């Protein structure tokens, strides 16, 4: 097969052709984030290549990724057909497709086994509700829905102390992996429910002999029927809660007692950001117009109330005026729990994405958009190339803590030890 990658081809077309030909997913990036599938290659590529690249099933995954980046300046990664894990760089495309089919077959068998062993009762069927349409009865039940094909996430956690020393030792019994690579392989194997790639990279007999605690963990992760989140908590603590990157192009819907008030409106349009005020640059609030003076007071009140939650300092905060009295607050975020975590040398950063929707739930019999605040870290552009409107959602100066996801896919461990530009330190300090 020969790809004719020209400036006119859309990202979506390129991905569709690749999936059809090789049965694998081609992740295409624009900077740190996924490329907009509606954009053409000329809009995202960094340089022009020959315009033609011969791709054969005998080509290795890593080689193809390097060739595409070298020829066209486009960063890509090759993942399984369901886009839930990254293919091994050493595998050929043919081998990767075979391995992917094995994963699918294994999951199908496991799914059938679970269904046959765990019959669903009528009562359980009654309680199985589509979360996209559910709003419980009663006055003031509010659901805010953020929708997007891909909502980027980053999570921070730490490797459990009991595995730290054995991970250091275990690298001696791998095929040239370092600690971060080994942890990435363990996480990837856990998510993909397939440990064959990991077994090909490590000497399990030597790990069993020299790293017994780690060996028991690997055995448990491979053979237990625990949910994915429980497996991850076996060696990563606390469970890595995702930080959302809500983009202006994502959609928002709001329902109150089941009645739709906002129906899939783009976030950028919904907020309609029209003015920014840097709080520390205000010399005399009396010189401000009444509306802006009220906004500044509201922003300062928000910052003061969030010192324990976000570590916001009004002196380094910018407030953006939005429609309907809403605010977008931007500043350096220093959440106390993350600052405390930074002291642990075994920090882990995990990237992922939500596909579909995030539901936020709250209750207010007098719901008012004036009480809605979006908050974003001021270094967000270092993490994602797209413009975002927030990492967190607050209502009446309180973080909305009750939420659920449609589907959250963990992609990869992208930093271990806290020294890289995707580390917790970089998130907190820039």
Q: DSSP of 54-118, one letter per residue?
A: E--TTSBHHHHHHHHHHHH---EEEE-TTSSSBPPTTSBHHHHHHHHHHHHHHHHHHHHHHHHHS
- Smallest CA-to-CA distance from 33 within 66, 16, 11, 14 is with 11
- Sign of torsion over alpha carbons 43, 45, 50, 55: negative
Is the peptide bond preceding residue 200 cis, with omega within 30 degrees of 0? no
Could you tell me the CA-to-CA distances from 47 to 39, 44, 52 in Å, in that order? 16, 9, 14
For 84, other C-beta atoms within 10 Å of its C-beta total 18
Q: Are 244 and 354 in contact (CB under 8 A)?
A: yes
Residue 168 CA to residue 164 CA, distance in Å, equals 6
Q: Which residues of 196-231 are buried (b: 16+ CB within 10 A; e: fewer)?
A: ebbeebbeeeebeeebeebbebbeebbeeeeeeeeb
The Cα 50–Cα 48 span in angstroms is 7
Taking the C-alpha atoms of residue 321 and residue 415, their distance in angstroms, rounded to an integer, is 35
The tens place of each residue's pLDDT in the chain, 430 residues long, gives 455 566 667 888 888 888 988 999 998 887 767 788 888 877 887 766 555 667 888 889 989 988 888 877 888 889 888 887 778 888 899 899 988 888 787 766 654 544 444 444 443 343 333 333 333 334 689 999 999 988 999 999 999 999 999 999 999 999 999 999 999 999 989 988 889 989 999 999 999 999 999 999 999 999 998 888 889 999 998 877 899 999 999 999 999 998 999 999 999 999 999 889 998 888 776 777 777 888 999 999 999 999 888 998 888 999 999 999 999 999 999 998 899 998 899 999 999 999 889 999 999 988 999 999 999 999 999 999 888 999 999 999 999 988 998 878 887 888 999 878 889 999 998 7
Q: What is the mean pLDDT of the chain?
A: 85
Q: What pLDDT does residue 208 have?
A: 96
Note the pTM of the prediction, 2 decimals: 0.69
What lies within 8 Å, CB to CB, of 357 at 6+ separation is: 132, 145, 146, 147, 148, 405, 406
Phi, psi for residue 3 in degrees, rounded to 5: -85, 130
Residue with tokens 């495309």: 93
Q: Which helix (H) or strand (E) holds 376?
A: strand 372-377
Looking only at the bridges linking them, the beta strands covering 141-159 and 347-363 are antiparallel
Structural domain boundaries of the chain?
A: 2-94, 141-155+240-429, 161-234
Q: What is the DSSP annotation of 124-181? A: HHHH---TTT---SSTTEEEEEEEEEEEEEEEEEEE-HHHHHHHHHHGGGBSS--HHH
Structure tokens given for 196:
């064959």
- The residue with tokens 């117009």 is 289
> To which H or E segment does residue 21 belong?
helix 11-22
Which class for 309: exposed (0-12), middle (13-18), buried (19 or more C-beta within 10 A)?
middle
Say what the pLDDT of residue 115 is. Answer: 44
430: which DSSP letter? Answer: -
Alpha carbon distance 142, 364 (integer Å): 7
Q: Are strands 327-331 and 318-321 parallel, antiparallel or unpaired?
A: antiparallel
């Amino acid at each position: 097969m020969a790809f004719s990658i020209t400036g006119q081809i859309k990202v979506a077309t390129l991905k569709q052709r690749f999936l059809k030909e090789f049965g694998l997913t081609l992740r295409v990036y624009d900077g740190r984030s996924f490329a907009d599938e509606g954009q053409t290659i000329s809009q995202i590529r960094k340089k022009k290549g020959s315009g033609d690249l011969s791709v054969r099933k005998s080509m290795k995954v890593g080689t193809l990724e390097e060739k595409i980046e070298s020829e066209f300046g486009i960063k890509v990664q090759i993942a399984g057909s369901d886009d839930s894990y990254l293919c091994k760089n050493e595998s050929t495309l043919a081998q990767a497709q075979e391995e992917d089919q094995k994963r699918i077959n294994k999951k199908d068998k496991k799914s059938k086994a679970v269904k046959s062993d765990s019959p669903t009762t009528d009562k359980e069927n009654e309680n199985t509700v589509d979360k996209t349409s559910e709003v419980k009865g009663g006055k003031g039940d509010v659901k805010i829905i953020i929708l997007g094909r891909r909502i980027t996430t980053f999570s921070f956690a730490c490797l459990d102390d009991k595995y730290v020393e054995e991970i250091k030792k275990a690298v001696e019994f791998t095929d040239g992996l370092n600690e971060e690579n080994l942890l990435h392989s363990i996480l990837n194997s856990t998510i993909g429910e397939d440990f064959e790639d990991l077994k090909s990279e490590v000497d399990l007999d030597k790990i069993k002999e020299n790293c017994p605690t780690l060996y028991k963990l690997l055995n448990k992760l491979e053979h237990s029927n625990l949910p994915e989140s429980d497996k991850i908590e076996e060696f990563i603590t606390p469970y890595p809660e995702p930080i959302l990157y809500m983009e202006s192009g994502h959609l928002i819907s709001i329902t109150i007692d089941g009645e739709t008030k906002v129906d899939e409106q783009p976030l950028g349009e919904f907020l309609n950001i029209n003015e920014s005020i840097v709080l520390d640059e205000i010399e005399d609030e009396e010189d401000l117009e009444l509306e802006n003076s009220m906004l500044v007071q509201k922003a300062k009140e928000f910052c003061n109330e969030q010192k324990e939650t976000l570590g916001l300092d009004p002196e380094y905060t910018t407030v953006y005026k939005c429609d309907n009295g809403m605010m977008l607050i931007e500043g350096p975020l220093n959440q106390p729990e993350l600052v405390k975590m930074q002291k642990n040398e075994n920090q882990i950063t995990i990237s992922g994405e939500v596909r579909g929707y995030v539901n936020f739930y709250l209750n207010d019999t007098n719901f008012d958009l004036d009480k809605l605040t979006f908050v974003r870290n001021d270094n967000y552009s270092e993490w994602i190339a797209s413009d975002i409107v927030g990492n967190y959602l607050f209502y009446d100066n309180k973080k909305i803590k009750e939420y659920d996801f449609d589907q959250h896919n963990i992609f990869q461990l992208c930093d271990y030890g806290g020294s890289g530009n995707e580390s917790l330190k970089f998130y907190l300090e820039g």
